[in-house]
Amino acid sequence: MGVYTRSRWDSRADLSLPMLRLFYGLMLGSMAALIPLLGGRFERQGLDGVTIGLLMALLPLGRLLSVPLWAWWADRYQAAGLVLRVACVLSAVAGMVVARAEEVWVLGLAMFCFSAMRAPLGAITDVFVMDALRARGRSLAEYGRTRLFGSLGFMVGVILASAPFAGPWLSDVGLIATAAVAFAFPTRGEGGPAPVWPALVALVKQRWLLPLLLAGCLQAFTLSVYDCFLSVHVAALGLPEWVVGAAFAVGVACETTLMAWARPLLGRVGPAGGLLLAAAVNVPRWAITAWTDDPAVLVGVQVLHGVAFGMFWVSGVQRMAHGAPAHVAASAQSLWSAASYGVGSLAGQALAGEARALGGTAAIFEMLAGVSVLATVAAGWLWRVDGKGDEARRG
């Protein structure tokens, strides 16, 4: 495991890191213009906490159910580029409906379809980046320097979506541009169907996999609730909507800085140490978010998002990339995606609505502080099993 052999499902010679950076920016920027402010929109429409939680839970449910199927198609038939194109076009159509739907059942169906169609984009793009780095003889720890452009796109999308001039057209432009760039990627690789199942069985038997996926699940539980319910919390506190945009901007600015320096940091602590640090800093972050109504404090504490997401995501993707055979790279990253922003997000969105119904929006973030304690324990288990993950740390 972890020994690289050339995969057959892409033409890495055709992959351009600048093109991948552009795609990351458009992909996450278009999502940021659509999803993070939905909670505040629902709050202003008068929807109760349980309904908001159920609607938000449809996003990770769609991802969880569909991402393994998309990844299997990409790996089995060497068709990653084709999968990327189809998913981009279908998710663009669903996203346009989400931006305009008013009836709850139409909105719910559109949100589920948007998430299900969009599910493979992140995992496949991550694999394209890893392959492009390998083809150039560069360390996989440099992944963060490309992925940070997605974070920048997310920040720009949230800021623009918070502006008075924003409207459904904003996410439309981003979704269409993302689909257009997807057509620049190679459609499929060389050779016939690849033997996916035996490689996945071997991967699942690795001792580090379970604690890695558990830590990712619990960490994404908290981060996905933050993404969708911060706007609900801000609206409940009676604060202006610009607070949401400012909080995301501060967090993502720190996130991109950390990703730019991820290689030397991971060289010191390894993926397990990175996940441990990411989970630990979220404990005080969520507690302060729950207990303050000062907009300056609420925005300022989000500087911890840099470590909480940046280190978390880079560590998980890098460890999975080193542990999986190349010809099931998409399926391996889909396991990470399904466990984190599938299972973790689904549980988070469902329970966040219940917490709000029981104790208001402050109770949501108090719950997240408790979950972050559990995530810290899970990351400690990974550290004990995997140590610094020398193979992944050398990247």
Structure tokens at 182: 């997807």
The total number of residues shown for the chain amounts to 395
pLDDT in tens, the chain (395 residues): 333 333 443 444 456 888 999 999 999 999 988 887 787 788 778 887 778 878 888 888 888 888 888 887 887 777 888 899 999 999 999 999 999 888 889 999 999 999 999 988 988 898 888 888 888 888 777 888 888 899 889 888 878 887 778 788 899 999 999 999 999 887 655 444 455 566 667 777 888 999 999 999 999 999 999 988 898 899 889 998 788 888 988 998 898 888 888 888 888 888 899 999 999 999 999 999 999 999 999 999 999 998 999 899 999 998 888 887 766 777 788 888 888 988 998 899 889 888 888 888 999 999 999 999 999 999 999 999 887 555 554 45
Which structure tokens are listed for 368?
């997240």
Domains of the chain plus CATH, in order, are: 13-394 (1.20.1250.20)
Rounded Cα gap, residues 20 and 131, in angstroms = 11
User: Most distant CA pair in the chain: distance in Å?
Assistant: 59
41: which 2 tokens?
A: 């929109």
pLDDT at 394: 47
Please state, in angstroms and rounded to a whole number, the distance separating the CA atoms of residues 179 and 181.
Answer: 6
Q: What one-character-per-residue DSSP string does 91-120 give?
A: HHHHHHHHHH--SHHHHHHHHHHHHHHHTH
pTM value surpassing 0.85: no
| CB 171, CB 154: distance < 8 Å | no
What six digits make up the tokens of 273?
Answer: 């140490």
Question: What is the spatial distance between Cα 282 and Cα 288, in angstroms, rounded to a whole number?
Answer: 10
Nearest to 196 by CA among 72, 47, 79, 108: 72
